[in-house]
Chains A and B, each alone.
Chain A
Amino acid sequence: MNLNFSYNWLKEYVTTKDSARDFAKKLTISGPTIDYIHELTPTFKKVVIGEIISIEKHASADKLQVCQVDVGAKEPLQIVCGAPNIAVGQKVPVVTVGGEVSGFEVKKASLRGVESAGMMCSQKELGIGEDHTGIYILPAYTKVGLPLEKVMNLDDYIFDIEVTSNRPDAMNIIGLAREASAILDVKFTYEESKPNLKINKELKLDVSVKESKLCSRYQAIVMTDIKVESSPLWMQQRLLSAGLRPINNLVDITNYILLEFGQPMHVFDYNKLAGQEIIIRGAKKGEKLLALDGKNYELIEDSLVIADKKDPVAVAGIMGGELSAATDETKTIVLEAANFDQLSIRKTARALNLHSDSSNLFEKGLAPENTTPAILRAIELVVELANGKVASKLIDESSYSFKIKTVNLPSDDIKRILGIEIKPAEVKSILEKLGFKVSGTGDIKVEVPYFRNNDIEGPHDLIEEIARVYGYHKLPAKLMTGDLPTGNDQKKIFQQEDKIKDTLVGLGYSENINYSFISEKLIKSSGLDVNDHVKIANPLSGDFEYMRVSLVPGLLQSIKENERMVSDLKIFELSKSYINNPKELPTEKTDLCIAMAEDSKDKAFFDVKGALAVVLQKLNIEDFTTQPIKKTNLYWSSNESAEIIINEKSIGTIGIINKENLQLFGIKKNVALAEIDFSKLAEFIKDSSTYKPIAKFPGIDLDISMEIEEDILYSDVVNTVKDFNDLIKQVLFLSVYQGEKIPTGKKALAIRINYRDDNKTLELTEAQKVHDKVVDKLKKEYNITIR
């Protein structure tokens, strides 16, 4: 959680002369991280305090008002203003002519015919806060005519601090100051407030906690004679720097306590609590609450609420109700400081989708002991800033019993984790500065302070405290010297995958990495079945609803995105698909998909097939064949796909993608694709090639150019020729042609046969003899004619 805090405020509780930057550096490497430092300097020029002495309507503009503002000069300034929140008597910041706010200069102007000599500003315009809903109304005590930078302390630095979720105790000024005192090894100067709790005129308040498990402590006090007004500028300044909007002294005090102690507080209007009773109980079915954010919430049964005799007046620890809130007319208040169960708060906040600074803190788990110093300080401030008088005893309904946690810390453990020895005196000093109590020597006993009760579980937690405050930067850096781990069967797979990728890249194919997610639309466009997919229960959107079972849809999508921009569109992906196993983890299967989009489907297909051949060759797979698939399936075009077969086992499919599927994707070109199951392929991969001696004697190539029935497969012709005679060493494809000069139903096929004798130089006559027989056989078997 990131918090913004004023350096000056921190310095009230920790004595340091460090510059803001040095302070931040030291804190960051040993404690909470200070991500950014903002130097607070006025971004405005010539802004003075003014008092509005009259307001009149603008004659020709409904939304504008004409104000006379006293800025301490001889004559008041006439300023035209459109803000909704101004009233006579208010003190406001005024930019005088020639001054600057938000980077622009204020000049004399005429607004719809009325002269305006200056401008009143919002907090945002002044660059001191976020509020831009109206003019920043200053406290009544502010002196007219003074420059704004004189009355607001702008000589400060604001730290943007990240405090980790396990340290709610440090999400406030006091906690941070304590951290800083340990890290900087300087004095922590905080002392608990001791307000006078003498009751002048007692008012009754009954507090009963019905759900003591969810509310371990509830402290409250009644205060009367309250004067609700603006809080002083120093307080406003600190709230503003933390990103909070000043409202009035009461609200500001509770927010101030939240920042200073990390203890959420609440103020009720005493007279609006029916029966002057506070009951902490579970919500009843159907109960509703109009919260301070102006929204009506239907409360969830049994979620914790604060109620008066009749109705809920607050969602406990999350937000107060509008109807019981203190207003400008409030005279008597109830101050609340309580502790609520973190899981209960978390559940309710989520269920209502209602989160506040208060719920954010409670969710992290606060110490019940923290309510006392917080409410004492609040009482002090209400007395001082809102004229409050104590009107009840400090009610304290608590059901927890605090037991001091003691952790034994063996001295060897420190060295074991840190790698170096730290002197016992230094260990003791670090822990004590952080609020721990240390006893014993050697193996020490450490008492955990209440505010660290949640996060300190055992010795390892204490070692972290010692190590960080000692300074990680002081620890040595070295590499391990122990034994290396044994055997890794996965390494080979990674190497094979890399080899495949490198080969394809070398052939001009570019790698894609698609999301593992897939939409229902893409599944359907690919002709796959939605029910075969693993479904995500909480997807971000329909685009990310399922886990893919195939890489094909993703690649087709990629082709669609690229086909108009890239001419030579060759891509591949080597990645996982997820095969659904009900009630079990899906099978994560690595697939290889190679694709090419081209106008000519033949070119695409044979390019992909050629690439596949090279890939297999590089994996030392001697031979593969393709077996045409007759039936239509999935996204493959009927009669235009084939199984890829190695040693009679199918490892995948290669073919043309169905036109209809392509249309659903919006792809214009033809797409050829090979889809291979890597685990099936891996069975045949060899680490190295087998050496075949180079032929001693030359061979003879003889070609056959034939006319053959068009549906006879090339592979059938090759198979017929290949094993016909021992002299035949290789059959090569030369060309195939259909068209002019070739009768319909036939194709012209040319092949080259390599003849060689392993024992002597082969004579042409001998080769020719065999060759003639090959031709005869082809004639007999396929009724070919020689061209």
Chain B
Amino acid sequence: MLTKSQFWDYNSYITKLFSLKKMKAKLEALKKEFNDEAEKIKSLVDLESLENKYLSRKSGVLTLLMKEMKSVPKEEMPAVGKLANEVKQFLTNKLETIKSNLGNKNNSDTAFDPTLPGTEQPVGHLHMVSQAIREISGIFEDIGFQRERYPEVEWDYYGFEALNMPAGHPARDEWETFFIDREPINKKLGQRILTPHTSSGQVREMEKGELPIRMTNISKTYRRQIDASHSPMFHQFEGLVIDKDINISHLKGTVEYFVKRFFGEDREIRLRPHHFQFTEPSFEVDISCGVCHGKGCKLCKEGWLELAGAGMVHPNVLKAGGIDPKVYSGFAFGWGVERCYMMKSGLNIDDIRLLYKNDLRVINQF
């Protein structure tokens, strides 16, 4: 006699044995049925629905059948599993074959039109200013400049004082500066300001105490001006070179190298005398107008466009940075990134503030 539990085991064994046979039969039937249907397939659309019918993850005929496999006795599982996998493989192969056949005679049903647009892909856009910064810093990297980053909220000391503009100096008026503190809060450093120019990085770079210096500093800068050609936040680019025997010809060579690479071989530069407190001599760098090529037109000043401010680093600035002006000399130059990029591309953006409105209809054009 069987014990009660043995009986139940036996009973379940019989049931399962029965299911095993049934399962095998079902798989065979499915395979045949699929094969018949597959022979009739004429188009990719039909093929897709056939694939879905049998193999869809949720409701595919084969998928559902495989779920039933759990009723098969454990010892039979490998055999059924194998068969099921074979069937699945058969189905997959067949579908592949039909697909490639259909592909080979693709114009049997539908006309192939290569002029239809391609499938839409996600497209993002880098902000124009980022693109400009990359291009500019890349050019200078090629001639050994290293890009640095300095504070945007800065001490008056680095923004003015160390740049040969002591408190109350009228030259400070040329920078419409934002202040955090109305009065100095630090005896040496003065008050906190939003840096109005990247030149505030000059003395910070010198203070690192590593020579020679060949650095670029590209950063957000801030001035209290807002109109079509001024945004209160904009980007400036600064270059600083300090070494023994640096002279004006190196400044000319460096700026010329940049201009030819960035604007094109046909563009010329000229240095025009100017005045900045922190350089001596000081220049403005002009590039020949790309529209009239020096003849003079509406877009330029008598054939030239202002690009940058530049000059030989003032001895007082070198001293502020702890560098002996009798041994070392250097030059610095700086310009607005937005303006420079617009000059290159000939972009006719009539309002610079548009760049920071982040209208995707604008950003996505670049």
Bound pair (A, B): yes
Interface residue ranges, A against B (CB under 8 Å): 21, 24-25, 28-37, 164-167, 342-343, 346, 363-365, 416-420, 458, 460-461, 463-464, 467-468, 472-473, 475-480, 482-486, 488, 490-491, 493-494, 498, 501-502, 504-517, 534-540, 544, 547, 558, 561-562, 565-566, 568-571, 576, 578, 583, 585-586, 588, 703, 705, 734-735, 750, 763-765, 768
Interfacial chain B residues near A506, Cβ < 8 Å:
122, 124
Distance between Cα atoms of A314 and B130 in the complex (Å): 54
Q: Is the CB of A764 within 8 A of B170?
A: no
Cβ-defined contact, B302 with A36, below 8 A: yes
Establish whether residues A585 and B151, one from each chain, have CB atoms under 8 Å apart when the complex forms. yes
Q: Which residues of A contact B357 (CB under 8 A)?
A: 561
B364: interface (CB < 8 Å): yes
Q: How far is the CA of A343 from the CA of B282 in the complex (A)?
A: 24
- CA of A486 to CA of B211 in the docked complex: distance in angstroms? 8
Q: Tell me which of B8-16, B100-108, B139-147 binds A.
A: B139-147
* A700 CB to nearest B CB, Å: 9
- In Å, the complex CA distance between A539 and B193 comes to 12
Which of B22-30, B32-40, B91-99, B270-278 contacts its partner?
B270-278
Give B220-249 interface residues, CB cut-off 8 Å to A.
Answer: 220, 222, 224, 226, 232-233, 241, 243-249
A480-B329 CB under 8 A given contacts A504-B124, A509-B124: no
A residues near B137, Cβ cutoff 8 Å = 494
Interchain CB contact under 8 A, A507 and B356 = no
Whether A510 pairs with B122 at a CB distance below 8 angstroms is no
CB distance from B304 to the nearest CB of A (A): 8
CA distance A570 to B360 in the complex (A): 10
- Please provide the 4 A-B residue pairs with the shortest distance between their CB atoms, ordered closest to farther: A508-B122, A164-B275, A464-B281, A419-B247
Contact B302 A588 (CB under 8 A): no
Known: A33-B272, A35-B301. A505 touches B124 (CB 8 A): yes
**Interchain CA distance A363-B173 in the complex, whole Å:** 11
A764 touching B124 in the complex, CB below 8 Å, given contacts A463-B281, A464-B281, A537-B182: no
Q: How far, in angstroms, from A464 to B361 measured CA to CA in the complex?
A: 48
Q: A512-B358, A539-B178 are in contact. Are A484 and B315 (CB under 8 A)?
A: no
What number of A-B contacts does a CB cutoff of 8 Å give?
A: 260
> CA separation between A657 and B109, bound complex, in Å?
50
- Least Cβ–Cβ distance between A249 and chain B, in angstroms: 34
Residues of chain B within 8 A of A540, CB atoms compared:
224, 226, 232
Contacts of A547 in B (CB 8 A): 153, 194
Contact A561 B359 (CB under 8 A): yes
Given the known interface contacts A419-B247, A480-B246, A485-B215, the answer about A501 and B179 at a Cβ–Cβ threshold of 8 Å is: no
Separation of A106 and B3 alpha carbons in the complex (Å): 129
What residues on B are CB-neighbors of A473 within 8 Å? 270-271
Q: How far is the CB of B143 from chain A (nearest CB, A)?
A: 6
Find B256's partner among A164, A477, A505 (CB 8 Å cutoff).
A477
Instruction: State whether A476 and B126 are in contact (beta carbons under 8 Å apart), knowing that A416-B247, A565-B361, A566-B361 are contacts in the complex.
Output: no
Determine if A417 and B134 form an interchain contact, defined as CB atoms under 8 angstroms apart. no
A419–B248 CA distance with the chains assembled, in angstroms: 7
CB B348 to nearest CB in A, in angstroms, measures 20
> What is the CB-to-nearest-CB distance from B224 to chain A, in angstroms, rounded to a whole number?
6
Interface residues on B, range: 35 or more
> Cβ of A513 and Cβ of B358 under 8 Å apart?
yes
Q: Is the CB–CB distance between B274 and A164 below 8 Å?
A: yes
Task: Name A494's closest neighbour in chain B (CB-CB).
Answer: B147
Q: How far is the CA of A750 from the CA of B59 in the complex (A)?
A: 13
Nearest CB of chain A from residue B180's CB, rounded to whole Å: 6
On whether the beta carbons of B301 and A36 are closer than 8 Å, the reply is yes
Which B288-311 residues have a C-beta within 8 angstroms of A?
Answer: 301-302
Task: Pick from B42-50, B77-85, B111-119, B339-347 the stretch touching chain A.
Answer: B77-85
- The reply to whether A485 and B144 form a contact with Cβ atoms under 8 Å apart is yes
Q: Kindly provide the distance from the CB of A479 to the nearest chain B CB, expressed in whole angstroms.
A: 5
Tell me the bound Cα distance from A364 to B174 in angstroms: 13
New A-B contacts (5) at CB < 8 Å, excluding given A34-B302, A507-B124: A33-B273, A164-B282, A475-B252, A509-B124, A578-B153
Q: Which residues from chain A contact B282 at a C-beta distance below 8 Å?
A: 164, 464
Does B214 reach chain A (CB closer than 8 Å)?
A: yes
B363 proximal to A (CB < 8 A): yes
Task: Establish whether residues A511 and B125, one from each chain, have CB atoms under 8 Å apart when the complex forms.
Answer: yes
Contact between A513 and B355 (Cβ–Cβ < 8 Å)? yes
Closest chain B CB from A66 CB (angstroms): 44
- From A36, A346, A484, A585, contact of B192 by CB (8 A): A585
Main secondary structure of the interface of B (DSSP, over half): mixed
Q: Contacts A483-B212, A485-B212 known; A511 to B144 CB distance under 8 Å?
A: no
Q: How many angstroms between the C-alpha atoms of A467 and B270 in the bound complex?
A: 14
- Minimum distance in angstroms from B147 CB to a CB of chain A: 6
Tell me the bound Cα distance from A705 to B154 in angstroms: 59
The answer to whether B314 touches A460, judged by C-beta atoms less than 8 angstroms apart, is yes
Separation of A34 and B304 alpha carbons in the complex (Å): 11
Contacts of B273 in A (CB 8 A): 29-33, 164, 464, 468, 472
B349 within 8 A of A: no
A173 CB, min distance to chain B CBs, angstroms:
19
A510→B128 CA distance, assembly (Å): 11
**B283, CB-defined interface residue at 8 Å:** yes
Inter-chain contact B170/A482, CB cutoff 8 Å: no
- A517 to B178 alpha-carbon distance, docked (Å): 11
Given that A165-B174, A419-B248, A537-B181 are known contacts, is A585 also in contact with B154, CB under 8 Å in the complex? yes
Does chain A have a CB within 8 A of B203?
no
User: Considering the chains assembled together, what is the distance between the CA atoms of A516 and B127 in angstroms?
Assistant: 16
Pick the contact of A484: B57, B214, B220 (CB < 8 A).
B214
B197–chain A nearest beta-carbon distance, Å = 16
Give B134 Cβ to nearest chain A Cβ, in Å: 7
Please report the C-alpha to C-alpha distance between residue A140 and residue B182 in the assembled complex, in whole angstroms.
57
A473–B358 alpha-carbon span in the complex (Å): 42
Q: Determine which of B78, B243, B356, B360 lies in contact with A571 in the assembled complex, contact meaning CB atoms within 8 Å.
A: B360
| Contact residues in A for B281 (Cβ distance below 8 Å) | 417, 460, 463-464, 467-468
A588-B151 in contact (CB<8A): yes
- In the docked arrangement, what's the CA distance between A29 and B301, Å? 13
12 sample A-B contacts, Cβ–Cβ < 8 Å, listed by A number:
A29-B273, A480-B143, A480-B241, A488-B147, A490-B148, A501-B130, A502-B126, A510-B363, A537-B178, A537-B182, A538-B179, A565-B360
CA distance A509 to B122 in the complex (A): 8
A32–B273 alpha-carbon span in the complex (Å): 7
* A-contacting residues, B176-219, CB 8 Å: 178-182, 185-186, 192, 194, 210, 212-215
1/0 contact string of B256-284 vs chain A (CB within 8 Å):
11000000000000111111000011111
Q: Are A576 and B212 in contact (CB under 8 A)?
A: no
Shortest Cβ gap from A204 to chain B (Å): 39
Q: Is the Cβ of B280 less than 8 Å from the Cβ of A475?
A: no
In the complex, chain A residues whose CB is within 8 Å of the CB of B78? 763-765
Interface status of B312 (Cβ within 8 A of chain A): yes
CB–CB A458/B315 < 8 A: yes
Contacting pair A512 B224 (CB below 8 A): no
For B182, the closest partner residue in chain A by CB is A537
Q: Can you name the residue of chain B whose Cβ is closest to the Cβ of A482?
A: B243
B21 contacts A by Cβ under 8 Å? no
Of chain A, the residue at the smallest CB distance from B185 is A583
- Cα A476 to Cα B57 in complex, Å, equals 75
Asked if A536 and B280 sit within 8 Å, CB to CB, the answer is no
Neighbouring B residues of A467 by C-beta, 8 Å: 248, 281
Choice from A363, A472, A537, A565 contacting B170 with Cβ under 8 Å? A363
- Chain A residues near B124: list those with CB within 8 A: 504-511, 570
Does the CB pair A536–B180 fall under 8 Å? yes
A539 nearest CB neighbor, chain B only: B178
Contact yes or no, B271 A472, CB < 8 A: yes
Residue of chain A at shortest CB distance from B168: A343
| Contact status A479-B253, CB under 8 Å | yes
B233:A516 contact, CB within 8 angstroms: yes
Q: Which of A36, A480, A511 contacts B127 (CB 8 A)?
A: A511
In Å, the complex CA distance between A569 and B363 comes to 12
B125 A505 Cβ-Cβ under 8 A: yes
Q: Report chain B residues within 8 Å CB of A486.
A: 210
Q: How far is it, in angstroms, between the C-alpha of A547 and the C-alpha of B194 when the chains are bound?
A: 10
Which residues of chain A are near B280, meaning CB under 8 Å?
Answer: 460-461, 463-464
